[in-house]
Chain A
Amino acid sequence: MNPIKLLFLSIFLFSGFAFSENFIRNLPSEQLRKLLTPEKFKNMDAVIVLKENSFQIQESSIEYHGISLIGPRIQKTSALIVKLFNEKAVQRYGTFEFDYRELLGNQIRNPFEARVRILKESGDIWVMPKKQINTIVSREFDGSPIARKVIFKIPNLSVGDILQIEYSFAENFSLASSGVFYFHDRDFTLFSNLYITLPAKCQTKFTSLPQGKIPDPQITQVSKNWGAGETYFWSLQNLKPIPDESFSTPFTDVSYKTAFIIDRWDNQGESEANWTYKANNFYKNFIKKDNVNEQQLEELGFAGMEQEPVGRSTTDRLYTALREAVSLYEFNSLYPQSENIKSIFKTGKGDASDMAYIMYSILKKWDQTVKIAWIRDIRQGRFEITIPTAMWFDRLGVLVTIDGEEVLYDFDRSVPVSFQTPWFLKGLNVVVIDESGYEFKTIGTPATIRDNIYKEFHHLELKDDMSIYDNIEFTNKGIGAEEFRENNYGLEENKIIEKLTGMLTPKCLSSVDSVSFNNYKSDTKVDIKCAGHLPLNAIEIDSFMVFKLNNYTFSDFKDKIFSTYRQNDVNLKTPFQVFLTWEVALPNGYKIKTTLENANISGPGHAASAYNFYSDNETIKISCHIKFPEIIIPKTQFPQLLTFLDETLAKINQDIILEKEKGETSPDSH
């Protein structure tokens, strides 16, 4: 629909009530309200009638102790009108929370304003008193606030209400050269509007994605002064919800979005809305700064290396030494402490970008072919080449060319200390930067099921009292190993054991007698050994003994992915496979009663499981190999995926029946 028509339509729909002096948007008309019913929006907690964001860079003047301070200011305004269908929505929308920095403390406060009103089903309108808008100091240092939070509960809110929240926030003496805005939300959205107003004479590049889905903006000239230039307006309708589901594509990848990048602040100057400028600017300001000195190299064990040949093994050792020298922060910044490497060595703490910069500096010192890489972690989403901004990326990596092979070293906490390329870097697109500029690179090829393997081996002993003792070995490679490292980074051994024990009981084992694990920080695999009794004993029926197998990995995966109602495609993040193996020593005097049939089961996305059963006089061996070679499984095939999981589990959970051999009386294991 033509944007102008849309604008008028939205005004028409919202014009049913008298204009309010304080609120920038009117409440929905009665005609529209009649359409907003749970029957029309099945299985939804709420529907967003209007989601509107306005972003403006303007000039502002602030009076401070008799002096007028003039400078740029970022002004953000937001409006939300939402109809609530159930208590869960009331709970979710019933709290307002907004954090912001306060760089100048109480000296010059960033202004914040909010307005809230509720349209009840009866037609009454209730406006929240301003005194109930609560702002607190969320962080302070030495008595001075450095961050504030606006947090309050919205009173008088019930199912069936239409809630309107508007707020405006200004960040003094701030500029932004780029921004990305998302049109979708967690709930269905009828109208999603975006206004961007930039200073006059700014030359700006706008990009909307996906291409072809978002119409061109409506442009209006507000003023020719620097402080207020042209306003660009976009409006989308009827956007499906992107709920927070397990195994789903990140919101930022799915949502429609529009980005702005200021190319030139005035008619002169260098063009900035391009990767070349961003890369050169970053390199100039953050790379080739402070250097690692000889003493630091000596502490790392790499003194006097300039004249030595540096191959893969040395580079790996350097990576390991840096990982062992420093404790990594949980959160990363793209910007390294490149002007003060000494502080990183002194404190023994840094983030991934700090360490990448140090490794880069050292390799540069050794005249190696090395570049800096901007990494956007695929676990957070992908970056868009058509939107050149450093905002996409969360950390630096080091791209080293050794003997013609390129290796990207990443200091993420989940990567083993003895470096191995993790699954989330394989096939990843990165931006590589050096003194000559930038290039896009794809790191190797995407991970396959060979890269991500979960192995679970059970050795079962049937005891005299019919209990079943299980010695389990987990060996995880790839995503399983990386998740373990990330989740347990910095934890003491006893805490990890406590976590593992809690994980295994009571579903996999009734109690855990022992748990141990390898040097997972350094090894590329994670090995865990544990032992305990199964929750269920074997059963004696006449001359037969019956028992079932258990497993953790596949059952846990099924529990996590299960849902009765899938709204978006499944995204497994990476292909993987699971090897489950059981070995059961046959008790003395027993033989296998029925050989279970082998089975192959297939599922959507070429998912497949192969169940094999083998027995001889002494042992039963069962294996089940399950593979998921494709990452995306369309939501329309989700029921088939659940059926595949259930059928495979049903096969694993079959009864194993042993028969007492004639003349034998009591069960003892071999």
Chain B
Amino acid sequence: MKNKVFFGLFIIFTTGCSKVFLNDEFISTLSFPRVSQNLLVYYHRHYLLKNNRLFIKTHSLIKTGGNVNTFPEALYCIDGSVQKLQQYHVRLIHQNGSIKTFSKSDLLRSDLSNSQMISRLRINFLPVRNELQSGDLIETITTFEHSLPFLGIQFTLDELEETAKNISCLIEIPLEDSLNYIVLNDTIPVSLVKTSKTKTYRFFWDSYTPLTKSGLFSKNNSEPAILAQVSAPSIFPQGQIIQKTTWQDFGNVYLDMIQSKLEISHARALAKEITKGRTGDKEKMDAIAEYCQKNIRYEQVYIDNGEFIPNNYSTIMSNRYGDCKDYSVAMYCLAKSIGLTPRLAMCHRGRGFEPCPKLPVSQFNHIIVYFVDKQTDYWYDGTNRAGQPGIVNVDLINQTALVLERDNLFLAQIAENSGNKMTISGNLMAVKNDIEGEITISLSLQFAVQFFYYEMHFNQEEFKDYLYRWSRENINENIILKDIKWLPEKEFVLKFSCVLPNSVITIDQNVYVSLSRIFSRLFPSDVADIQNNPDLFYFPYYNRTDLSLNFENLFQVQDQTEPNRSNKNFKLNYSYDLPPGPFNVSQRTDFIQKLTTVTDNFNNNVKLVRMGLP
């Protein structure tokens, strides 16, 4: 079967290049199992580097199922300034043999700009459902031109979103260029076909079924994927043919593209004013970051190639709005203008993502600023908008960053701040099966970032609402809070009176208390699934916590008859410090051991007696 498909593809590309659609002979080789739902029976992606331009062609064939009304209203594709639609062809092959074709001129277009994002993105759609009957075939061919080929090639099967058969990915480059590639999460072979002018790498899958959605602790890019980067003078001009593109080449191209945006001289006057009175480099950098965070609001407005290319410094400071790239350019220019040495850094926001650093292919969705002071790394993220400068949010913990500097680029880790901590202390009482009392929660460094942000963002009452919901999500799902107060200083401190319903177990004269009952959301109570998870990648909970609880009316059984038992009321103190991830194989084992220990302690029920108040 596989050979038939290869042969069929060969036929298409060697003799059928003038034809757009699949020929009947080839379609007849495809199997169409009887299914009631729509089925993607053929999916072919072709990356073509030709005349210094990168084209991406996608050719698919769908067989409609029993209920054609479940087929989407229209076929659609999105284009914009980075990926521009060049060609569009659709062919409907009806069961009765009749055929209808459509092309780019039949598309309706709608701009996707809205209050969240203004960009050049457009949705192009073709209403087809009116034309369909059960059992029809829908063949679609789209060709885009990618305006930034240096970003590399990424083909991942999760873009299919549904079960599919006969999936192929071809990468065709000039004969004189080189291709470096990696197959991720799979072991399929590659075939190479050369002609007099080009060489084509082929990857093929018989069938594909989407993986079950990954759990909370798993990495979220587990699908088979191809990463590839072309070593071509047209993309990475080096003056000579190179065999393997490096991250340095990648970084240099990007820096060349944004060089005109970095108007360092324009920033000098403001930078001096902002840093007036600050002595050390770190203090100056902090002042610059604070200024940018406070005076530039977050908005997504993209000019041509704007998803990757920032605005220039003058525009950013004139607009007083921008996204992560713009914040970083502003901070960079201000810092550089007074002699500091910041560097732009690309990274991926979101901890479930495992990047592949072996190939210089863009896997980034965020830009921040990297700064070293006295051999300590600091990372400045303008989108935080508030909080301690140089500290990034938890979703960047231990993420890989590409630090950009011409001819001195390197990959680094945005290390977890070892001072991250959540401290919970409380004076509590058991009242029937509930716990009532006063709790103070203190969050430091990276744990505090989101709170500073929302405290700045919301009005008082809405922020209180946010804290209440956060408590129910992260402390106890049934917690009832009263008198919520907060202190946003260096740490974020939250104080409240509370009731934790059904948090103790009463059996006869004894009261049983465990951390897992009191703080039912703070830590996973059942770790069996986590231990057995082959995709275990990171720990999403607060990983460093000190707990100190004082129970005024509960006593250890042996202390209940003590003459000074008023000083012997039960105190529950516990601390844990777990690695946050990402984990490699050996780190996983170590993490699971520690996790199990903490879980056992959390689930440990301490037998107590109740004295004094009921």
**Chain A residues, CB < 8 A from B295:** 158
With the chains together, A97 CA to B468 CA distance in Å? 33
Give the distance to chain A from B581, nearest Cβ to Cβ, in Å. 19
Point out the residue from A156, A491, A539, A564 that lies within 8 Å of B461, measured CB to CB. A564
**Chain B residues, CB < 8 A from A149:** 111, 113
Query: Does B58 reach chain A (CB closer than 8 Å)?
Result: no
Give the contacts of B460-477 with A (CB-CB under 8 A).
460-462, 464-465, 468-469, 477
Given contacts A97-B115, A539-B603, contact A155 B320 (CB under 8 A): yes
A interface residues, tally (CB under 8 Å): 67
Query: Does A507 reach chain B (CB closer than 8 Å)?
Result: yes
With the chains together, A68 CA to B460 CA distance in Å? 58
The total of interchain contacts (Cβ-Cβ below 8 angstroms) comes to 150
Give the distance to chain A from B453, nearest Cβ to Cβ, in Å. 9
Q: Are A657 and B114 in contact (CB under 8 A)?
A: no
Query: Does B258 reach chain A (CB closer than 8 Å)?
Result: no
**Chain B residues, CB < 8 A from A544:** 507
Q: Are B505 and A493 in contact (CB under 8 A)?
A: no
Q: Are A137 and B502 in contact (CB under 8 A)?
A: no
Q: Are A153 and B114 in contact (CB under 8 A)?
A: no
- Which of B130, B298, B459, B465 has the most A CB atoms < 10 Å from its CB? B459
With the chains together, A324 CA to B114 CA distance in Å? 36
**Chain B residues, CB < 8 A from A158:** 295, 297, 320
Give the distance to chain B from A553, nearest Cβ to Cβ, in Å. 16
Q: Are B525 and A537 in contact (CB under 8 A)?
A: yes
- Chain B residue with minimal CB distance to A159? B456
**Chain A residues, CB < 8 A from B477:** 507
With the chains together, A174 CA to B512 CA distance in Å? 75
Query: Does A662 reach chain B (CB closer than 8 Å)?
Result: no
Q: Are B459 and A88 in contact (CB under 8 A)?
A: yes
Query: Does A311 reach chain B (CB closer than 8 Å)?
Result: no
With the chains together, A494 CA to B162 CA distance in Å? 10
Point out the residue from B69, B109, B321, B502 that lies within 8 Å of A140, measured CB to CB. B109
Query: Does A653 reach chain B (CB closer than 8 Å)?
Result: yes
With the chains together, A419 CA to B37 CA distance in Å? 27
Given contacts A155-B318, A492-B38, contact A564 B465 (CB under 8 A): yes
Q: Are B216 and A97 in contact (CB under 8 A)?
A: no
Q: Are B526 and A510 in contact (CB under 8 A)?
A: yes
Given contacts A88-B462, A546-B505, contact A511 B529 (CB under 8 A): yes
Give the contacts of A117-150 with B (CB-CB under 8 A).
134, 136-142, 149
**Chain A residues, CB < 8 A from B115:** 95, 97, 151
Point out the residue from A156, A541, A649 that lies within 8 Å of B478, measured CB to CB. A649
Give the contacts of A40-82 with B (CB-CB under 8 A).
42-45
Given contacts A139-B110, A153-B301, A492-B38, contact A43 B501 (CB under 8 A): no
Interface of B is mostly: mixed
Q: Are B461 and A88 in contact (CB under 8 A)?
A: no
Q: Are A349 and B502 in contact (CB under 8 A)?
A: no
Point out the residue from A467, A565, A646 that lies within 8 Å of B480, measured CB to CB. A646
**Chain A residues, CB < 8 A from B105:** 142
Contact with B along A469-503 (1 / 0, CB 8 A): 00000000000000000000011111000100010
Point out the residue from A91, A537, A563 that lies within 8 Å of B465, measured CB to CB. A563
Q: Are B114 and A97 in contact (CB under 8 A)?
A: yes
Query: Does A347 reach chain B (CB closer than 8 Å)?
Result: yes
Q: Are B459 and A44 in contact (CB under 8 A)?
A: yes
Q: Are B130 and A349 in contact (CB under 8 A)?
A: yes
Contact with A along B602-614 (1 / 0, CB 8 A): 0101010000000
**Chain B residues, CB < 8 A from A88:** 457-459, 462
Q: Are B297 and A493 in contact (CB under 8 A)?
A: no
With the chains together, A88 CA to B319 CA distance in Å? 18
Query: Does B83 reach chain A (CB closer than 8 Å)?
Result: no
**Chain A residues, CB < 8 A from B480:** 646
Give the distance to chain A from B478, nearest Cβ to Cβ, in Å. 6
- Chain B residue with minimal CB distance to A558? B478
Point out the residue from B299, B319, B385, B603 that lies within 8 Å of A156, measured CB to CB. B319
With the chains together, A425 CA to B380 CA distance in Å? 56
Give the distance to chain A from B193, nearest Cβ to Cβ, in Å. 37
Query: Does B192 reach chain A (CB closer than 8 Å)?
Result: no
**Chain A residues, CB < 8 A from B434:** 650
Query: Does A85 reach chain B (CB closer than 8 Å)?
Result: yes
Q: Are B118 and A653 in contact (CB under 8 A)?
A: no
**Chain B residues, CB < 8 A from A494:** 37
Q: Are A156 and B318 in contact (CB under 8 A)?
A: yes
Query: Does A612 reach chain B (CB closer than 8 Å)?
Result: no
Given contacts A157-B320, A349-B130, contact A548 B37 (CB under 8 A): no
B interface residues, tally (CB under 8 Å): 57
Query: Does B11 reach chain A (CB closer than 8 Å)?
Result: no
Contact with A along B29-73 (1 / 0, CB 8 A): 000000001100000000000000000000000000001011000
With the chains together, A182 CA to B502 CA distance in Å? 48
Q: Are A492 and B459 in contact (CB under 8 A)?
A: no
Query: Does A586 reach chain B (CB closer than 8 Å)?
Result: no
Query: Does A327 reach chain B (CB closer than 8 Å)?
Result: yes
- Chain A residue with minimal CB distance to B38? A492
Given contacts A43-B460, A97-B115, A593-B507, contact A654 B297 (CB under 8 A): no
Query: Does A152 reach chain B (CB closer than 8 Å)?
Result: yes
Give the distance to chain B from A266, nearest Cβ to Cβ, in Å. 41
**Chain B residues, CB < 8 A from A138:** 110-111, 113
Q: Are B111 and A136 in contact (CB under 8 A)?
A: yes
**Chain B residues, CB < 8 A from A646:** 478, 480, 501
Given contacts A155-B321, A490-B70, A653-B478, contact A349 B129 (CB under 8 A): yes
Give the contacts of A638-670 with B (CB-CB under 8 A).
646, 649-650, 653-655, 657
Query: Does A94 reach chain B (CB closer than 8 Å)?
Result: yes
**Chain A residues, CB < 8 A from B526:** 467, 510, 535-537
With the chains together, A593 CA to B434 CA distance in Å? 19
With the chains together, A438 CA to B130 CA distance in Å? 36
Point out the residue from B299, B456, B469 that lies within 8 Å of A94, measured CB to CB. B299
Give the contacts of A483-533 with B (CB-CB under 8 A).
490-494, 498, 502, 506-507, 510-511
**Chain B residues, CB < 8 A from A151:** 113-115, 118
With the chains together, A492 CA to B161 CA distance in Å? 13
**Chain A residues, CB < 8 A from B529:** 510-511
With the chains together, A491 CA to B71 CA distance in Å? 9
Query: Does B108 reach chain A (CB closer than 8 Å)?
Result: yes
Give the contacts of B562-614 with A (CB-CB under 8 A).
603, 605, 607
Give the distance to chain A from B499, nearest Cβ to Cβ, in Å. 8
Query: Does B246 reach chain A (CB closer than 8 Å)?
Result: no
With the chains together, A467 CA to B528 CA distance in Å? 11
With the chains together, A502 CA to B118 CA distance in Å? 31
**Chain A residues, CB < 8 A from B607:** 541
Query: Does B427 reach chain A (CB closer than 8 Å)?
Result: no
Query: Does A348 reach chain B (CB closer than 8 Å)?
Result: yes
**Chain A residues, CB < 8 A from B118:** 134, 151-153
With the chains together, A140 CA to B123 CA distance in Å? 11
Q: Are A653 and B501 in contact (CB under 8 A)?
A: yes
Give the distance to chain B from A498, nearest Cβ to Cβ, in Å. 8
Query: Does B305 reach chain A (CB closer than 8 Å)?
Result: no
Point out the residue from A97, A539, A593, A654 that lies within 8 Å of B502, measured CB to CB. A654
**Chain A residues, CB < 8 A from B458:** 86, 88
With the chains together, A541 CA to B468 CA distance in Å? 32
Point out the residue from B114, B456, B462, B512 that lies within 8 Å of A541, measured CB to CB. B512
Q: Are A156 and B320 in contact (CB under 8 A)?
A: yes
Contact with B along A267-291 (1 / 0, CB 8 A): 0000000000000000000000000
In the complex, the 5 A-B pairs of residues with the closest C-beta atoms, listed nearest first: A43-B461, A650-B501, A565-B461, A155-B319, A347-B130
Task: List 7 A–B pairs whose Cβ atoms lie within 8 Å, in order of A's numbering.
Answer: A87-B457, A151-B114, A153-B301, A157-B320, A493-B37, A649-B478, A650-B478
- Apart from A152-B118, A156-B320, A493-B37, what are 17 other A-B pairs with CB-CB below 8 Å? A38-B459, A86-B457, A88-B457, A91-B457, A138-B111, A140-B109, A157-B320, A158-B295, A158-B320, A348-B130, A502-B213, A510-B526, A536-B520, A650-B478, A653-B501, A654-B502, A655-B505
